Amino acid sequence: MDPFKIACHSFVQVPHCFPPTNAIIMQNNSRTIQPRCRWTWTGIKRCLHLCFFRQFFRVPTSPNSCVNSMTMESVIVFCFGFFTLICGSSYAALITKAELTAALTSSGFPAPSDEQYKNIVTRCEKSGKITTKRELAMFLANVFQESDGLRAKKEYNPPAGAYQAPGGAPGKRYYGRGYLQLSWVYNYKAASQALYKDDRLVKDPDQVATKDDVAWDTAFWYWSANVHSAPGVSEGKFGATTKAINGALECGGAAVGTEQAKRRFEFYKKISAAFKLSGKPVENGCYN
């Protein structure tokens, strides 16, 4: 999320000058009250300049001006809070760690680490285009299935000689890694270019499994590139996400594949309950 949007919703409130539900744009020594989310960087700079600068030099102001009701302590508090927000120590999270923990433990898995939680909530929109709790729940249901409840960041016992294809680095194998088990060299290439503008993941595919941030970034990239806009996903049809990820392997009617797809949906129901999502989870889009 853009830091100024975060600041708009999480603003440090300075008495008088910055009321809790309104924004103030300073023009010609007067205060114009506007809805809080109309804050702009220009407006913020104006208020900082006019209030802070005039306080130092005691420029005469009208009785109702910002400066006469603002102390230097208030200005310092405002500046500290504002730049703390801009520097990224605060972010808007779609879910709490308690909700993620409940989703995992109710599904039979251990609680997440702090690093895992932070990487999810700070990367889901930027790398995955995920902006709603429902889509994040659908994403995580597939992640739970692919990563054995966030415990496996690489494929268990990949077959010898598997995943070999032209275009890879010598001696490297491109089996499933990361929280959505990124597989095959063409996906490693595409993810690397999209995320880093180079081929680092082709040269060193193991980092998708060894670095938690990369494991999440590649999972979110795959979701944004292949699942986010797939038919049915925006309508909340969970089966559509499974079909976008594994196609006929799980949605082609074979008994084994159908059981795997149904297991994903069971995770989705658990996560939906943990996230307190409204409405009944929709199963359609894969085997029905």
Active-site residue, from 125, 146, 155, 250 = 146
Distance CA 21, CA 13 (A): 9
Question: Which residue matches tokens 């603003």?
Answer: 11
| Rounded distance between C-alpha atoms, residue 152 and residue 220, angstroms | 16
Rounded Cα gap, residues 223 and 130, in angstroms: 9
How far is the C-alpha of 262 from the C-alpha of 236, rounded, in Å?
16
Determine phi and psi for 87, rounding to 5 degrees: -75, -5
Sign of the torsion formed by the C-alpha atoms of 177, 179, 183 and 188: negative
- 283 an active-site residue? no
Amino acid type, 124: C
Q: Residue 36 and residue 42: Cα distance in Å, rounded?
A: 14
> Which active-site residues does the annotation give?
146
